[in-house]
Amino acid sequence: MLTVVAAEHRRQLDNRRAARRRLAQVLREATAPPARRRRPTRPTRGSVERRLRGKEQRARLKRTRRRPGSGDQT
């Protein structure tokens, strides 16, 4: 069972029309086919290489900021 209530208008007739419109909208949405699922794609080789190159540059920059002789030699 489905109940649709509308009380945004002062007149009962207008509220009934609004409730019918809302019911029609709910039924349209319920009977519509589901949206197509997104097919996941793999990142391109170039984008992977760019990302890794950026990570390496960032790591190199952070390595230069370390204190000399901090004990962590990587």
End-to-end CA distance of the chain: 67
Q: How far apart, in whole angstroms, are the C-alpha atoms of residue 53 and residue 49?
A: 6
In the predicted model, what is the mean pLDDT of residues 7-28?
95
- Hey, what are 71's tokens? 């004990």
Predicted TM-score (pTM) of this structure: 0.48
CB 30 within 8 Å of CB 9: no
H helix intervals, the chain = 12-31, 45-65
* Mean pLDDT, range 29-45, rounded to an integer: 94
pLDDT at position 69 = 75
